[in-house]
Amino acid sequence: MATLAEAINLLYRQASSRIAELEQPVVAILNAEPHPMLKDLEAATERFEVQQHLRASYRVLEADGMHPVTHLSDHDFDLILLLPGKQREQNLGRMAQAMRQLKTNGRLLVCCPNTMGAKSYEKRLHELAGNIAGNSKSKCRCFSACRTPALDSVIQQAWIDAAAVRRLPQSGLYSQPGLFSWDRSDPGSDLLLAHLPSGLAGRGMDLGCGYGYLSVQALKHFPDIHELHAVDTDRLALDCTAMNLKPFTEHTWHTHWLDATQEPLPDNLDWVLLNPPFHSGQQQDTGLGQAIIDAACRSLRPGGRLFLVANRHLPYESVLCRQLRHFTTLKQEAGFKVIEGEQ
C-alpha cells in the first residue's frame, strides 16, 4: 500500500511540472485516486477530467469537489495521467486508448509501483509509442511518451480490442478484462450455485455481482424469483451485468453502483448471494469481506437467508454469529466453504 501511495504522489507531482509547461492545457486522469494536489492541478488547466469507475474512490473524489466521471469524454487531451490497476490487458488497453485521445504531441504519463510490473509496462509503452522517458523513485517508476507519427496503430488497436467488452464463448455472457474472474466462472461461485435450495424465490440480491454470473444463473434456474438486485462497486462490472440481464424481460431486476461498506443496500430481502472480495488493491484485507458480510446480513428481512461462499481459511463466522440467528456450513471443498444463514 505504501508504494501505491508513493506512485500517486509521484504521478501528481510530475503532472504539476508538465502542466506548468503548457498553455491552457486539457488534462485527464485515468483511474484517478484522491489527493490534496488535485485541486491545484485542476486550477492550472483549461479543462480537467478525473475518471474513476470504482465507487469508493469515486465518492471521495466527489466529496472533494472533483466532479469525477466513469468514462472520459471525447475531448482530445494535452496530457493524460494513468495509475495502472491490477489487470494487464485492462492497463494496456487504457494506455492505447489514452494515446488515441491525445492531441498530436500530447503526452501520456504513467506511474506504477515496481511490484505491479512497472518496468514491463514501460517497455510495452515504448513498443506502442516509439518514444519513452522514465525515472524511478521510492520503489516506483514514472514513464511517459508522446503521440507522434511513431505510434504503432496496429498495436494500439490490438490492445484496445483485447481490453474491450466481449461475449464469452463458453457462457455467452458479456465481460471484460479487469473484472473478477472475467473470462470464466469462478469455482467458488459454481460451488455456491450447486448448493442453493430448489425453492429460491421472492426478492433477492447478488452482492458483489461482478459481470452478473450468479445473477444470470439465479434467474435461469429459479422461476419464482420476482425481483433481483445486482450490486457492485465497479461501474464497468455493472455495465456488463446490465447487458447480461437484458434478456430476462419477464423478471424485475435492478443494478446498483454502491460501496456496500459505506452506502445503504436494498433491504427487507428474502435472500442474498455473496462471494465477497477479500483484497484491497494488492493486499489481502479480511476486514473488507467482514464488512460486506455484515451489510449483507443487515439487508435481510427476518427469516431471510444468506448464501455465502468464501475461501475456507477466512474468519467470517464471527460476523455471522453477531448478525444471524443461526448458520451452518453446507459444504467444504477445494479450499472453499459454502455457508447458509438465517436472519
pTM of the model: 0.94
- The CATH H-level (homologous superfamily) assignment of domain 166-342 is Vaccinia Virus protein VP39 (3.40.50.150)
**pLDDT for the residue 286:** 84
**pLDDT for the residue 144:** 98
**pLDDT for the residue 3:** 85
Rounded mean pLDDT for each run of 10 residues along the chain, 343 residues in total: 85 96 97 97 98 98 98 96 96 98 98 94 97 91 97 98 97 97 95 96 98 97 97 98 97 97 98 84 75 97 98 94 96 96 97
* Second-level CATH architecture of 2-163: 3-Layer(aba) Sandwich (3.40)
| Annotated domain spans of the chain | 2-163, 166-342
**pLDDT for the residue 138:** 86
**pLDDT for the residue 278:** 73
**pLDDT for the residue 284:** 61
Is residue 166 a contact partner of residue 244, using CB atoms and an 8 Å limit? no
**pLDDT for the residue 281:** 52
Contacts of 304 (CB under 8 A, 6+ apart): 268, 269, 270, 271, 272, 342, 343
